[in-house]
Every structure is written in structure tokens, then in C-alpha cells.
Structure 1
Amino acid sequence: MTQQLSGEVTRGLPALMRPGQRVDVELGVRNPSPYNSATDLVLDESYPAGFQVLVDSLTGTELPPHSSGVIVGTFAPRSSGVFRIDLTVRYINRTTGEPGQPVALSCATHVSAIDDFVVVAVGDKGLLRISLNGGQQWSSHDLAATENLRAVAWNQLASRPRFVAVGASNGQAIAYYSTDPATGFTSAAIAAPAAANAVVWSVDWSEFVVVGDGGLIAKSRDGQAWDVISSGTEADLFGIVWAGNAYIAVGAEGTVLTSGDGWEWESSNTEIPARLTGIAWSPGIGFVASTDQPRTVAFSKDAVDWMAITHSGLPASSRSVAVSATAATPVFVVVGTNGGFASSTDPLREWTARPVPRVASITVCDVVPSAVLGGFLAASDGCWTLRGDAHGSDWHAQRIAREFRDYRTVNGICDGVA
């Protein structure tokens, strides 16, 4: 039997970057065999200009059983374009002397000037605001007041961009999709009598997945045609993340659902008596779920065993959580009520409260990593959006209302390329 090493991109490139922006990259290979070593490792390399290898524990080495090696580097592109890092590992089974199955690793990013970046913000009563220059200026594309949009996502494909916003209209789940936000969004029905609360794009499966009230799960390649999936639960679901090889969805009463392909879902309970309002994942650290419990998040290494983490630095009630895509050390940010912001590089032990100037009394509803800024974007009630640095420590607020008395809630925000 041919020996098979396994490979993974443990810290890859973000979907979007700016010229001059720097990110750290880590490509890993593991030998899962309990008996055989892999030796004479050779790399077939394809690195873009601007990528520098800092650590190479693969070339010319031997991987004993249950061991691993990595390529660690830094990437700082000087120009716009689509860049790929490709690496193929070839090796010999030391026991048999025969070649093993080559391991292919790759990751890609789209590099563009900030003026090419689109930011989309969605909210209650048809709120749909779009910025075509990275969140500097905004225009209104508002929908009917009956459309309450809860979340928005981008498909991370610069060659075939698509934005999808989801929510509820007259008691039914609704989606809006766009290939060019400058020209507006088109509605698409999700055949479910429930609100859609969150949406995520899976790079590996090339699909959007939506979760919502009553255990709603639906998936779509293009945001236009949706398949409603049996989730096996009637619990309201509020957050979903793609974790490299599985979807993890969270919701009311500590509900956690997992799926490798989005079709078959398994349910477990965190035994944490809380509503899990959002979820984020970082390789090597694990999962953090925001909760409605006072100053509490849920943490898990594997999305199976969970523990409640209570810390004075966390918001009084949390609405969303995200992890940075570009910081050398992953930074988690949790947002919630009373302008609550907290950040952590060690979510098990330490959280630091971060004050937000000018808008301290707002409820912050959503936070996402932003490749445009190399930091974070957030959305709140009162028609505010916020921009934060890669450490989640320095935040700047911007009101995107066109009218003085427009205080609708911005529920979701994302950036991308159109």
C-alpha cells in the first residue's frame, strides 16, 4: 500500500490583500503512519515574487511516524494581481524504498488597490449600503422596508465575484445576490418559513451555506438557487463557520451542529446554558463562540468538547466573534452590547476590553476580518460601521446614514472585490 502523507495550509493567504501588506504563511505536512518513516523529502516550489521562506523543516528531512514538518514564510506583494503559493512534497517510504504519493499544497490571494475593494453593509428595514472604495464613502441601495437583512458574505473569487445577503421578508427566509454591487442586488427566495441569520462561503466546496431560525440550513453555489437541508434540530441557529474541513453551526440552548459537506449534520450540545450567537475558528487554537451570557464565551479545540470562559474584559452580552486573517499571531475579537469590544490572542485565559470612541452606548451586531484594512470591520445599531486594526485595539466609527434621523441597525458587513 502506498504511503500517504497529509498536508494542510495551517496559515494561508487571506482572500484579499493590498500592495505592500504583509502576511505570514504556514504550510504543513504530517506523517500519519504509525510504522513507516518518510525520507528524502523534496519540494517542487512555485512561489510568487514577494514571498520569502523563513523556516523550512521539510527539505531533505525525514518524517518519523506521527511527526510533521512545515514551511513558514512571509508574503508582501508589491503589485496588484492574483498570486499563488504552490508547493508539492515528494518523498520516499523508508521501509519499502518506494516513492509515496506526492502532497500538493497551495493557497492564493487577490491583491488590489483599496479603490477596487467593495464593502457591503446590510440591516433592518431594507438597509443596504455599499462602498466602492474600501469603506471610505457609502451609497444607498436600500430595499423595501419589509426586508430585514441579517448577514452578508462574499465568495472570495475575484474572477467570478458574488455577494450574498440573507434575512427575512414577511416571515420567509430571503436572499439577495449581486455580481456587481454598484448596480444593485437581485432577490432570491429560500423556501423556508424562518429568518436566515448568518451566511458563510466555503472555499473548498465553492458554496454559500445559510443558517437561521427553527434549525434552518440552506446552501447555494450562486446565491440564486437554494437547497434547504434537514438539520435535525428545531433550535434557532445564529452563526456558522467553515473550519477547513467542516462546517460548524451554533445556536440557541448551546446547540452545535457539524457537517463535512453541508448535507449531513450531526448535533451536539455544549452543556453551556446559553444562546451561541456567533463562531470563529483559527487553526492551532480552536473555536470561540460568542454568547448572550454575561461576559462569557464558549471555547473548544475540536468543536466537540466545549467550556465556558468568563472574563471581566468581555462584553456584557456578545453578539459576534471574528479572528484576524493577517496578524502574525491570530487575534480574536468579540463584540456586543453597550459598545462592547474585547480582543485576545489567548482566548482561554485573557481578554482585553477595547473602548470605542463616540459610540460607547451602541450594540455592535457583527464583526468580520477585513483584508482591505488588514484588520476588522464591524456593524452596529444607529447606522454605524466601525474599522479596527489587526490587533482589535484601535477602532474608528463612521455613520453611514443618509438622513439625520435614520437610526436603523446594521446587522451584517463584509468586504470583497467586484
Structure 2
Amino acid sequence: MSIPSRLGLLRDPDFGRLFAATALGQLGDRIIFLALPLVAIVALKADEFQVGLLTAMTTAGSLLVGLPAGAWVDRMRKRSVMIGADFSRALVLLTVPLAWWADVLTIWLLCAAALTHGVLTVFFDVAYVSYLPHLVGRANLVEGNSKLSAIRSVTSIGGPAVAGPLIGWVGAPVTLLASSAGMAMSGLLAIRIRKREQTPEPSEGSRLGRDIKEGLKFVLRNSALRAIMLGDAVFNLFLIMYQTMLLVFLEREAGLESFGIGLILSGMGCGALLGALLATKVSNLIGQGPVIWLASLVTCPLTVLMPLARPGWSVYVAALGLAALSLGGVVRFVAQASFQQALTPDRLLGRMSATARFVSWGGIPVGGVVGGASGSVFGATATLWIGAAGMTLSVFPVLLSPVRTMRELPKVKDPTGVPL
């Protein structure tokens, strides 16, 4: 599929609809990222451990349904899964403001909503990653991932910028209505995508356990996929520890209100947008493999600026380190997502995505709990130091693997020997 134009894939109506749906869904997601913890911190006066527990519930879906989600998605039309997940997430988010208005909202109800939303997000993300090669073709994966990362980055800027003042005006619980609306509109746009897949034909003797095992074997036997996942697992564990205490640090130790916190997070979004705009050029210049570890090695150490900051102007200087982290994270994500998709045959895309998510995101709930516990024992500042060190060390699995020097996307065969 070749679409000549500066707009590239955006000239394709179906990709344009996916692009717009991504914008609305991610806008809702970015509002959740700020509003949900602030419901706990400000509205419910939760302590550090409870904030960490809420973070764990948000991402625990990867552990609970991560592996079977891939096998299930591989048996279904990915577009249909995305639509169903979007509308279901919109309904779940509605429960928080409704419970708040009824004066029955508790930290445990908030955790239940976060867990349900997280499980649905697993299905959405697995289907989303698996659907992209079908929609744009394998030759356009880097461009497709780069453009979708760009719009996610734009919403990373706009989401907190909208959420901060909105939270100050109507409160964090009511702000989640905007997130619910974003998810619902994303689902409506996905319905309008015309390019449909055929329902996958189940293989003879197909069973859930056997399908999961096949996906695991494929991923774990591939040294490139294995290294990428392990590096992601270490990075995500310490990133969540860092993020769990970041809002606590900004609100309680740096003295920022919701508008200031939103401004800091918008700065991270600016870094992510710049990363998305540069991702293809940087990957072409440095190489698809080297950029995966170099991006983290260059940007992760800069996150130590935040725990060094004190109330006042130094907090906003330290935000540059967070912007750099986002820039490097997006450059790395575009390169490694394209790597993973290029290495995987169509029939295993869902299981590859789910297995990668299970392994690399499996530590995220642990990171939330450990981050909360660390914040309770050592304080938010010390936890930020620990998180910064761990994220920097996450480069080693890829640095010590064949990915280190692989400059181009690999071209592989299906495990049956059929060329892709």
C-alpha cells in the first residue's frame, strides 16, 4: 500500500478515522491519568499506599487477562473488539462521578473501577496493535506507528492542560465525564472504519491453552522479542514506581495545585510529541535496533532533576527532564513496536502483543504497590531517585542482545516456513 503525499497514510480515509479515534480515546485516557489519582489524593484523602494500590489496580489487567486476551483476540475481528472495549470503558468511567454525586464513592470502589477499566484496556490495546498491520500493510508500519504516536503525544499535551483547569473548576470525579465521552466518541469513529477483516478461521484442534502456549513459545524463543520485552518490563516497573509518587511529590512536597500539575504533565506531552515527529528520522539515522537502547540511555538519567527540585521555579526546570523522558520513550516505542510487528506473522499478532504486554507490563501493578510502599517508608523524593536509577538500568537487556546492532526492520517467515 503506497500513498504518495506529505500526508502519507492520513490520505487514507480508514486510517484517518483510526487516527481521529486514537486522538479522542487518548484524550480521555490522559484526563484519566491526572483525574483518577487526584480523586484519591484530593477528594478521598488517600495515603501513599492507597495511591500505589490504585495505580496497581489500573494496570493489573495485564496480569489477570494478558495471555488469554491475545488468544481470544486472534479468534475475533480486531475492529469489533476495539469498538466493544471503547463503549464498555465509557460506561465504567461513568460510575465514578455517579458514585460521587450519590456520596458513596470510596477508595475501594475507585480501585474496582480502575481494575475493570484496565482489563478492558488490555483487550483494546491487543486488538489495536494487531489491527494496524491489516489496516496499513507491513510496509507502512513505521509511518503508521509514528503518526499514531504523534497524535497520542498531542493529546498528552492537551489532556493535562484541559484536565488541570477542569479539575479545579468541577472537581476530579466530575472531570471523568470528559474521559467517558472521549472513549464513546472513539468507539463511534471506529464503527465508521470500512476496511473489515474476515473472521479468523480457528485452526484444527484449536484450544485456548494450546493457543496461549504457541504465542509464548514464539515470543520467548525469539532473542530480539525476548530482549525487548525484558527491557520493557524493567523500565515499566521503575517508571510506575516513579509515576506513583510523582503526583504525590508535586502536590504535597512541591506545593503545586491541579493547574500546575497539569502544566508539568503537558510538558511531558510536548516531549512525547517531539519524539513522535523525530522518531522515523532518528531511527533511519541511528538504526532501528540501536535507537531502542540509546533513547533510554540518553534520556532516563535526566529524571533525577525532579527529586532534586524544591518548591518554586526549580520544579519547572526539572520538568525538562520529564519531557526528555517522554521524548526518548516515544522514539523507543515506535522503533520497538515496528520491530515486534515486523517479526510476527499475522495469525500470531494478537498473541505476540498480549504476551509482550503480559511480560513487559506484568511488573506495572507490582511497581504501583512497591512505589506506594516505598513512598510510605522512604518518602516520595527517595522513591523518585529509585525509579530514575531503575529506568536507566533497563537498557541492558537490549544492549546485550542482537537488537543492539540491527539497523533495519527484520524480514522473517511464518513459523510454518511461509514467507510474510
The structure richer in helix per residue is: 2
Settle same-fold status: TM greater than 0.5.
no
Query: Structure 2-normalised TM-score?
Result: 0.24
Query: Structure 1-normalised TM-score?
Result: 0.24
